Amino acid sequence: MSVVDSDEESKAERKRKKDLERFTETRPLDPWERYRALSDHLDHLLDVTELADRKTRFALVILGALNAVNVLIAIRAPQIDADGLNHTFIQVYVAGYVLISLYFFVYAIMALRPRAGRMHRSGEARAQGGVPGLRMMDDILATDIDDYYELWRTAEVGQLDREMALQAYLMARANAEKFRAVHRVFHGLLLLVGLTAVLVAIIGLHLMAPALLGI
């Protein structure tokens, strides 16, 4: 075997070992791999935020439809031969429904509320030197363009990874708050659907009572 062949085999063996080390499951990520993973994770968290907002808007559409049905019932009840129905009951029902509807409407607003203060400030972490303030909105606007460029020019990959990890953490916390509010809204929708069904059933039974009693 020639020296050239031996050297080529040695290089191939080193390359094979390097590839094996690269794809080992227990190997820590290198800085650029962490950057790519964090970037993908932030994109995922943004998708989760948009999903929560879409669910909230859909819940508001359902809430608007339920409110329209209840308004129609409240307007039509005196005109559909329901004179014997207790009007105090109708008034109490309408007042209670409006209050419950407003209560859960507040949670819908909370779900859609921008959380810039939760998602764009590095605050204490930057003061401790943990992050350079490259990606956080408040930090960017608090720095003039020359100083901001200097931050990017001197930034280390590890610092950028740390700031992206902080941003992912803040976004995850904001998304958790969003989904807690969304869950309350949908629970409220179930309650309002139940109340509407009870009202429709009571009015229906009242209208059918004469026939059921053979009157």
Q: What residue spans define the domains of the chain?
A: 3-212
Q: Which residue has the tokens 């932030």?
A: 42
Using CA atoms, how far residue 115 sits from 49, 103, 110, in Å, is 11, 21, 10
Distances (CA, A) of 210 to 33, 81, 83, 84: 76, 11, 13, 11
Cβ-contact 101, 74 below 8 angstroms: no
Please report the pLDDT score of residue 77 as a whole number: 65
Q: What is the largest CA-CA distance in the chain?
A: 113
Residue with tokens 């009870």: 198
pLDDT at 3: 47
Could you report the average pLDDT of every consecutive run of 10 residues in the chain (215 residues)?
A: 55 64 68 88 92 92 89 71 63 85 89 67 54 82 89 88 89 91 91 88 73 58
pLDDT of the residue at 71? 83
User: Phi/psi zone of residue 28: left (φ > 0), alpha (ψ -120 to 50 degrees), beta?
Assistant: beta
Residue 57, pLDDT score? 92
The one-letter amino acid at 17:
K
Give pLDDT, residue 17. 62
pLDDT of residue 130: 67
Q: Which long-range contacts (CB under 8 A, 24 or more apart) does 132-137 make?
A: 132/159, 132/160, 132/163, 133/163, 134/159, 134/160, 134/163, 135/160, 135/163, 135/164, 135/167, 136/163, 136/167
SS3 content of the chain, % helix, strand, coil (to 5): 80, 0, 20
Nearest-CA neighbor of 49 among 118, 129, 106, 133? 118
Whether the CB-CB separation of 49 and 178 falls below 8 Å is answered with yes
